[in-house]
Structure 1
């Protein structure tokens, strides 16, 4: 952003300088050329006036010769011609300066009035001596265009120096402005990054820069402080609830176990059913606590070897699959990596594999695949069980979704939060030939912000 601010200010100043300096330079150059032509015409008329006294009244030509000598001293030449076109005062200009001067003299003697010729190197001016209608001669002066050209070049040089100085000053001001605005924003961005990565004590330092940035830093610090209080409070509530619920449930289960030991067959069967409900309630409490932690914590993504983790989870679940008569296989590209929170992918795979093994009948198959797809890792858990309807798939990632009939209904909700919290996506698809495919897209680069997830609960 600092570079864009500096370049924008510099471009604006450069445009303003161009719009101001170029027209000024063109105007001054035109003015210099006009002054040069006006001065040349004035000198020629002065020579004509001095020569008229000599040609008409027979007086001395000394005044005209002094003016001609002054023109020659400035690098030009001048000459006075009589009515027949013969030089009478001074000498004709040498070649190539004299090119076209005879035509100019003839034009003036033909009663056409003063004439001027300019070729970029020389400016020739011819005016009649006496009345234009009946001239007694012609005064001609030729002056070099180098002096005005030099003055124009010097003028452009000064303007260019002014423009360059303005650009340098603009660059310094733009750089200072960009740093003034950009430095506190970079500091604020770093504090926001640290907060997003889980450093709840991250704060922006004493705000500097523009008033809007200072207000933004103050607002961020207030938000970060409130977020820290809320998360710490939520964690305390989760810990208290966990303790307060688990303890009586464990005590209740122990008392049921003691009662079942001394009960008759009918009472023992009822107590066994009650113990099953206690176990189900315990899993439900664990699941709710897991989802609550998943919604109120912050991830710190780390590089995870997806292929290795898939192989480990397959090996861990292989005994369960064999006991159910299900073939559990994996096919992942070697070296496959993704960025997720620590242990998040393990919880995701455990939930998905558990769901698939519960759904697949005996002699069925569960396949885990992993491939790199552009900027993401595509991980799939494919089973050939009964599958789900479209409506059931749409609701499966919500708490107590369709899988609640066989479990707590929280496993897929935890999977969805774990994956999306790390910047990925999760969806359920039909398996060709029947069954359900859980398709995950996981980020391959760090930097994704999201909600950290807590321990998972298998959906069985």
Structure 2
């Protein structure tokens, strides 16, 4: 943004300078040319007057000769022609009498006005001598245009200097203006990004920049403070509920265990049922706490080798699967790398494998597969957890990702809700499909490592540029 503001102001200053300097330069150039031509015509007119006294009044040519000598001393050339076009007098240089001036002499004799012509670096002026009705000759003056060109160059040089100075000042002003506006906005942007990453105590500086930007920063800080209070309050409630529920549940379980040790008959059966209920309540509390942590989590993605994590979790769950006579297997070709928060992929797989093991009967199979994601999702990897259990009805699949939304759930009903929250928080998707031949397939689409970042699994991505 800073660069765009600076370039915009600089472009505006450049346009204004061009519109002001170029027309002024053209005007001053025309003025210099007009002044130079007028001076030359005046000198030629003076020479013509002196020549008329000699040609018409037959006075001595002293004045005419003096003017010719002065012209020569000034670096010019001059000549006086009679009515027949013959040279009467001239300076030592022959420029005023060469073939190029003959046409001007003829034009001056035919017309009652002075004729001027610029050719290269010289200006030639031909002035009729005598009355318009009775011309007795022509005075020709040839002057070098180098002084004119030098003055024009000086004019354009000063204008160029003024333009450069104006451009430099415009650049300085535009950069300072852009920074004055852009830096506070960048600070607000950085604070918003950090807030989105979970730094709830971050605040944006509200003491610099334009008034509108300061108001924006103040509004952001108010929002951040309220968000921090809400999140901290929610976390405090979660922690309090965890403490208040776990302690009495643990105490109740210990008392039931003591009673069950001496119970017999129907009392033992009732106590065993009570112990199962206590265990279910403990699992429910643990699930609620895990769901709350998943909802409050703000992942900071890092590159993670999917095949390594899948192999690790398969190995961890294999004893449980073997005890329940369920076959666990995986297939992750190409050693894919996904871009998710540290530990999130492990939690996703643990919840999915736990759900699948609860659903699949003895002798069943659970398979974990990985493949490139569909083109509609973008660059990434598709992770599938496939089981051949009883599956889900369409009604149950429609609400399976909500907390306690699956009426057919055998566990706490929170596993798939945690999976959906973690997948979407990492920029992925989660959906349920029927398994060919019966069962349920959970499909996760996880993002790939963005371009321009080093793919070092387990470490934060580093820009390559």
| TM category, shorter | 0.7 to 0.9
Shift of 1:273: 4.3
Shift of 1:342: 3.4
Give the whole-Å Cα distance in 1 for the aligned partners of 2:10 and 2:174: 7
Give the whole-Å Cα distance in 2 for the aligned partners of 1:51 and 1:429: 114
Instruction: Give secondary structure in 1 for the equivalent of 2:201.
Output: coil
For the Cα contact (< 8 Å) 2:77–2:96, is it kept in 1? no
Higher alpha-carbon deviation: 25-34 or 410-419:
25-34
Shift of 1:93: 5.5
Shift of 1:101: 0.5
Residue 426 of structure 2 is aligned to residue 415 of structure 1: no
Partner of 2:461: none
Partner of 1:146: 146
Instruction: Give secondary structure in 1 for the equivalent of 2:78.
Output: strand
Shift of 1:29: 1.5
Instruction: Give secondary structure in 2 for the equivalent of 1:175.
Output: helix
Q: Deviations over 1:1-30 (max 9, x none)?
A: 333332222222122211211121122212
Partner of 1:160: 160
Instruction: Give secondary structure in 1 for the equivalent of 2:412.
Output: coil
* Matches for 1:39-438 after TM superposition, within 5 Å: 39-91=39-91, 94=94, 98-111=98-111, 113-205=113-205, 207-254=207-254, 265=265, 268-269=268-269, 271-333=271-333, 336-371=336-371, 375-388=379-392, 392-402=396-406, 404-431=408-435, 435-438=440-443
Seen in structure 2, the aligned counterparts of structure 1 residues 206 and 344 have a Cα distance that, compared at 3 Å, is same
Quick one: higher RCO (CA 8 Å, sep 6+), 1 or 2?
A: 1
Instruction: Give secondary structure in 2 for the equivalent of 1:440.
Output: strand
Instruction: Give secondary structure in 2 for the equivalent of 1:204.
Output: coil
Q: What runs of 5+ residues in structure 1 fail to find an aligned partner? A: 448-460
Give the whole-Å Cα distance in 1 for the aligned partners of 2:206 and 2:349: 45
Instruction: Give secondary structure in 2 for the equivalent of 1:127.
Output: strand
Higher alpha-carbon deviation: 400-409 or 99-108:
400-409
Higher alpha-carbon deviation: 348-357 or 286-295:
286-295
For the Cα contact (< 8 Å) 1:301–1:446, is it kept in 2? no
Higher alpha-carbon deviation: 248-257 or 46-55:
248-257
Partner of 1:439: 444
Higher alpha-carbon deviation: 34-43 or 248-257:
248-257
Shift of 1:95: 5.0
For the Cα contact (< 8 Å) 1:260–1:271, is it kept in 2? yes
Give the whole-Å Cα distance in 2 for the aligned partners of 1:438 and 1:99: 98
* Number of residue pairs matched by the alignment: 447
Partner of 1:22: 22
For the Cα contact (< 8 Å) 2:78–2:141, is it kept in 1? yes
Shift of 1:97: 8.1
Give the whole-Å Cα distance in 2 for the aligned partners of 1:433 and 1:161: 84
What is the TM-score of this pair, normalised by structure 1?
0.85
Q: Deviations over 1:291-319 (max 9, x none)?
A: 22322343344443433221111111112
Give the whole-Å Cα distance in 2 for the aligned partners of 1:403 and 1:309: 31
For the Cα contact (< 8 Å) 1:431–1:437, is it kept in 2? no
Instruction: Give secondary structure in 1 for the equivalent of 2:13.
Output: helix
For the Cα contact (< 8 Å) 2:423–2:444, is it kept in 1? no
Q: What runs of 5+ residues in structure 2 fail to find an aligned partner? A: 453-465
Shift of 1:349: 0.6
What is the TM-score of this pair, normalised by structure 2?
0.84
Shift of 1:177: 2.5
For the Cα contact (< 8 Å) 1:371–1:377, is it kept in 2? yes
Give the whole-Å Cα distance in 1 for the aligned partners of 2:316 and 2:275: 28
Shift of 1:255: 5.1
Shift of 1:248: 3.5
